[in-house]
Amino acid sequence: MTVYFWINGRWDQVRSMAVASILLITVMQNMLVAFMTSVFDDARASGRQAVLKFRAELIYEYETLEKQLLAERMNEMDI
């Protein structure tokens, strides 16, 4: 609350609540950093899974096309 008053230019509470306000700000910033760290870790894990799934699908498509092309070439050689 004191920070709100500071932003609006009321400095009369500086002496009484300065230490408590600085401590509160520090705690709140640490909580924000902890929250953002957990969100970042979750996003990184989800991103890794998405990349691996994309790679697996790409490999599957390549192998399917390769088998089809090989079968077509074998049919052309038989003719």
pLDDT tens, residue by residue, 16-26: 666 777 788 88
Q: How big is the chain by its Cα radius of gyration, in Å? A: 31
Q: Give the HSE-up count for residue 36: Cα atoms under 13 Å, Cβ half-sphere.
A: 6
Contacts of 20 (CB under 8 A, 6+ apart): 2
- 11, pLDDT greater than 90: no
Question: What percent of the chain shows pLDDT beyond 70?
Answer: 81
Q: 8 is in which domain, residue-wise?
A: 2-78
Mean pLDDT of 1-10: 69
The mean predicted confidence, pLDDT, of the chain is: 83
- The tally of domains found in the chain comes to 1
Give the residue, 74 or 33, on which the prediction is more confident: 33
What pLDDT sits at residue 77?
Answer: 73
